Structure 1
Amino acid sequence: MDSLWVLAGAGFAAGAMNALAGGGSFVSLPALIAVGVPPVLANTTSTVALYPGSMASAWAYRDSLSGVGEVPLRPLLIVTLLGGIAGALLLLNMPSRSFNAALPWLLLAATCALGFGRRVGEWVRTRCRLRPAVVLCLQFCLGVYGGYFGGAVGIMMVAVWSLLGAHDLKRMSGPRVLMVTAANTMAVLIFIAAGAVDWPAAAVMLVTASLGGYAGAIAGKRIPGSVVRYGTLALTACITVAFFVRARG
């Protein structure tokens, strides 16, 4: 019963975080590992469990979907889907010990993206402006990362898009959620086909993450962005430190 409540609460929180700022896997992945799911299976299960929440968020943002800078929405979507396929296949075909060793560093990269991604994007934008073709290549790489792990991938996308001159964060919320959902769509299909899902755990999170995703999208229109950002950053930093400690133990 305790495990049920842990998974339910983590699912809701993760769904809300993905809608607000990204990084929901920082909550769902540790929760699954805490209740005894092996790390790689926990990662695939987390992706499947959070998927409906991402879909709910994308639906909530359906009226604000558009291209980014000079890049239309369709090419961004296609390369993200292809990247999601590559990332999911990479995860399933790598030794589990490799993923375990990489996990703390993946969390650290995601935490840095949450904390500094937008600033780095703005700093680089003042010095260069990328062509749409380059941005599409970077978007493919982000799709790979999204299919493989995905922590804070939405923030990474916003940082890259800022290099196109797109700096209206609120306007980019819709495309961000859609692209994250696109990468996850391919990963989810592959993980299900491969039988790489802990369905009892996923079932609990599927429901609560959907509720959290929609609630987070609605709340995101009212809560100050600074509150969301700093709260998310503090939580992700603590979890990252905990996983480095775990890796040394």
Structure 2
Amino acid sequence: MDLFILCCAGFAAGVLNAVAGGGTFLSFPALIAVGVPPVAANATATLAALPGYMSSAWGFRHDMQAEGSLPLRAIALIATVGGLAGAFLLIVTPGATFLWIVPWLLLGATLLFALGPALLGRMQARGGASAGVAVSAAAILVVSVYGGYFNGGLGIMLLATFSLIGYSNIHSMNGLKTVLSSLLSLVSSAAFIVAGLIAWEQALPLAVSAMIGGYIGARVSRRITRTDLLRHFVTAVGAITALVFFLR
């Protein structure tokens, strides 16, 4: 039953991360449900999301192009530094403290996920004006620290950040989102492995199923016209998960 839960959650999380985001709202509680402690569950969910992000990035490989004031290499470098900083913060966070923080993180990520389309639309309505280099670098750094610490809601945060720094092509934004998500998961997972936080027995089936789901999600994303229904579903899952952790 644990294997079934992990495989279903991993596949669904991979699809959602490619199409609408929010896969962590499924993978993180699934790991908790099969007995993984919260800090280790967060670290394992980050590692397990990596294959799905990478397969999605491959599916979007023809869509990526540089926009705004920062070149892609600079964005990648800043994201690496931010991801490592966020991972270090998680490693040094005591388990009891993280257990207190988790419901607030889930609630904040759920609200951001629910309000994300409106926020993104307002930013794009600014006419595609690009922020300066310093503001763009700071925005990428902040969202990367968050992504290294907690993966929930990362996709919509990245999309909003790209819009802020001058991106307007949604397919290019989705492609870069999956690449940066892959990079953040890679560097933070490396830190988590060194710190011994990965639950390997649960990580393997979750990662394999997320990889399959991520590739399929990237392939079918352009054909899906009712992503709002997926978003409502993910928002409901996030809200219920946050409520459960508040009650605990």
Q: TM-score scaled to structure 2, two decimals?
A: 0.92
> CA 1:189–1:151 in 2, change beyond 3 Å: closer, same or farther?
same
1:231 is aligned to: 230
Q: Runs (4+) of structure 1 moved beyond 4 Å?
A: none
Single out whichever of 104-113 and 118-127 deviates more from structure 2: 118-127
Distance (Å, rounded) in 2 between the aligned partners of 1:245 and 1:202: 23
Aligned match of 2:197 = 196
Structure 2 residue 200 is matched with structure 1 residue 215: no
Q: Retained in 2: the 8 A contact 1:22–1:154? A: yes
SS at match of 2:62: helix
Deviation at 1:244, TM superposition (A): 2.3
Sequence identity of aligned pairs in percent?
39
Give the secondary structure class of the aligned counterpart of 2:223: coil
Distance 1:195 1:164 in 2: 36
**Contact 1:114/1:233 (<8 A) preserved:** no
Preserved contact between residue 114 and residue 235 of structure 2 (Cα < 8 Å): no
Match of 1:167 in 2: 168
Q: How does 1:26-65 map to 2 (within 5 A)?
A: 26-65=25-64
| Unpaired stretches in structure 1, ≥5 consecutive residues | none
Conserved? CA contact 1:84–1:146, under 8 Å: yes
> 2:177 maps to which residue?
176
Task: Tell me the amino acid that sits aligned with residue 156 of structure 1.
Answer: M
Question: Could you list the per-position Cα deviations for residues 24-44 of structure 1 after superposition, in whole angstroms to 9, with x for gaps in the alignment?
Answer: 111000001011111111111
C-alpha contact 1:121 1:162 (8 A) present in aligned 2: yes
Equivalent residue, structure 2, for 1:126: 126
Cα RMSD after superposing both structures? 1.8
Show the 5 A alignment for 1:84-99.
84-99=83-98
One-letter identity of the residue aligned with 1:236: T
Task: Give how far 1:129 is off.
Answer: 5.6
Instruction: Provide structure 2 residue ranges, at least 5 long, that are not aligned to the other structure.
Output: none
Kindly state the Cα deviation for residue 121 of structure 1 after the two structures are TM-superposed.
4.2
1:157 alignment counterpart: 158
Q: How many residue pairs get matched?
A: 246
1:203 aligned counterpart, secondary structure: helix
TM score, norm. by length of structure 1 = 0.92
Per the alignment, residue 142 of structure 1 pairs with: 143
3-state SS, counterpart of residue 151 of structure 1: coil
Residue 116 in structure 1 maps to residue 96 in structure 2: no
Instruction: Summarize the alignment of residues 13-24 of structure 1 with structure 2, pairs less than 5 Å apart.
Output: 13-24=12-23
Aligned AA (1:39)? P
Instruction: Give distance in 2, aligned partners of 1:143 and 1:164.
Output: 15
Deviations 1:66-98 (CA, angstroms, capped at 9, x unpaired):
223232111111101111100111001011112
